[in-house]
Structure 1
């Protein structure tokens, strides 16, 4: 892994991911990113949440660089772009497994930790900060 890289998750394109144009529907890219984030969060004690705080997705940016076809195998790469007081910006790339040079999508997702009782932002848990080092 590269500095700042959080995880590399291999995924296979599923037939049901395709749309009428016979390539992966744009909404499925978000599902691929969600799967990778959850796999990363599984390595964090308590998944970075408890009875008081939990993460929510505040924003997502996806740059669709080229269509993904079926069958196909992908790698979702997640890396740290920015660590804030209550937020974490996770950069992402979706690339082809076979060559790694074919970029299908890049961008980022901003996650904000919130107080479950008030819905307001909460301090980023130390376990999340540690997982980003």
Structure 2
């Protein structure tokens, strides 16, 4: 008998349902209403800097992972130079309180607004004492090989609408 999982099993994309914020998550981390998507993780040794708290770059990596999971769950194809993918145009981060080694952290993500080729995502990292960090990013959907902006596919837009009900902006 082979107990080694197949590579395909490791590549399975979790669904929105599997990554929903639960009432237990809200109670444990003090997650505000309006956040529907996220995942729990631990502050790892590699995340901690010389000051014994999670380094600012760790938060950005957690948000990047949350963004990728969110967009894959919304049926955006996995990253490829020839397929549409998100390109960061702007990033604003606010650090509110430190997280320490082995603290549990719940990372949330949501789409706040959508335009034809771009969207605004918000993220938050919630620790044992509540929200530790917030972040807002403007992303543009592009073909990386050519730099061409592309419209957000209807299937992706509809999946985002169903989860977050973002503001639809023109332009």
Partner of residue 108, structure 1 = 136
Tell me, in whole angstroms, the C-alpha distance in 2 between the residues paired with 1:121 and 1:16. 36
Moved more, 50-59 or 68-77: 50-59
User: Scaled by the length of structure 2, what TM-score is found?
Assistant: 0.67
- Deviation of the 1:23 alpha carbon: 0.5
2:150 is aligned with 1:122 = yes
Q: Is the 8 A contact 1:48 1:125 kept in 2?
A: no
Partner SS, residue 47 of structure 1:
coil
Structure number having the greater helix percentage = 2
Q: How does 1:79-118 map to 2 (within 5 A)?
A: 79-96=110-127, 98=128, 102-118=130-146
Highest relative contact order (Cα 8 Å, sep 6+), 1 or 2?
Answer: 1
From 32, 38, 48, the counterpart of 1:18: 48
Over residues 43-76 of structure 1, what are the superposed CA-to-partner deviations in whole Å (9 max), with x where a residue is unaligned? Answer: 1324377734222122211100111111201111
5+ long unaligned stretches in structure 1:
none
Aligned structure 1 segments of 4 or more residues deviating by more than 6 angstroms? none
- Deviation of the 1:40 alpha carbon: 1.5
From 66, 81, 85, the counterpart of 1:54: 85
- Deviation of the 1:117 alpha carbon: 4.5
5+ long unaligned stretches in structure 2:
1-20, 22-32, 162-171
Moved more, 65-74 or 107-116: 107-116
Partner SS, residue 73 of structure 2:
coil
Aligned pair count reads: 129
User: Scaled by the length of structure 1, what TM-score is found?
Assistant: 0.84
Pairwise CA RMSD: 2.1
Partner of residue 36, structure 1 = 66
Structure 1 residues 48 and 130, CA gap change in structure 2 (3 angstroms): farther
Tell me, in whole angstroms, the C-alpha distance in 2 between the residues paired with 1:38 and 1:127. 16
